[in-house]
Amino acid sequence: MDRDELLGLLRALEEAAVDYVLIGAAAMGFHGVVRATEDVDMLVRAAPENIERLRAALRAAFAEDPEIEDIRTDDLLGAYPAVRYYPPTGDLYLDVMTRLGEVASFESVESEAKEIEGVRVRVATPAALHRLKKGTVRAIDRQDAAVLRQRFDLPDDDGDE
């Protein structure tokens, strides 16, 4: 993932006032837990005006790539509310979701603001990332959950310290 490209995207999201929260490995990086990844996972508020702001931000970040218009409001508000967007550079891709089944949505994921080079970024908290990752079928997610738990002294699955 190209750092400058990611920073440009984050700046565009802020300038367009998109309601979003980073989840996944990119969010972990903002908490100092770095793992190689090729994508940026984000939850966005499920509202037509927010999805239009998302498209505006992507147009600003990626020089009006015509593929942005394939990100449809109906898709992100529908039964399978996720789209994958590949910017023209090919250095990273975005997984944009309005919810993860019944497990998580923009509104339900605890987040906090971080700042990088003057850009305000919304990222899931370490505890929220741990909850999202600990019960998945992917081994890498379970490993991420274990690292988050240890690094941030999070309670175990039974709620004990």
Task: Report pLDDT digits (tens) over 18-54.
Answer: 999 999 999 999 999 998 888 999 999 999 999 999 9
R_g (Cα) of the chain, nearest Å: 15
**pLDDT above 50: residue 55:** yes
Dihedral sign, Cα of residue 57, residue 18, residue 6, residue 107? negative
Closest by CA to 45, choosing from 81, 12, 79, is 81
Least confidently predicted of 86-90, 115-119, 156-160: 156-160
Average pLDDT score over the chain: 92
3-151 topology per CATH:
Beta Polymerase; domain 2 (3.30.460)
**pLDDT above 60: residue 91:** yes
Q: How far is CA 103 from CA 43, 112, 136, 151, in A?
A: 12, 19, 11, 24
Buried b (16+ CB within 10 A) or exposed e, 84-121: ebebeeeebebebbbbbeeebbbeebebeebeeeebeb
CA dist 130 and 15 (Å) reads 29
Split at pLDDT 50, 70, 90, the class of 161 is: very low
Q: Where are the domains of the chain?
A: 3-151
H/E segment holding residue 116: strand 111-116
Amino acid at 105: S
**pLDDT above 60: residue 160:** no
**pLDDT above 90: residue 102:** no
**pLDDT above 50: residue 133:** yes
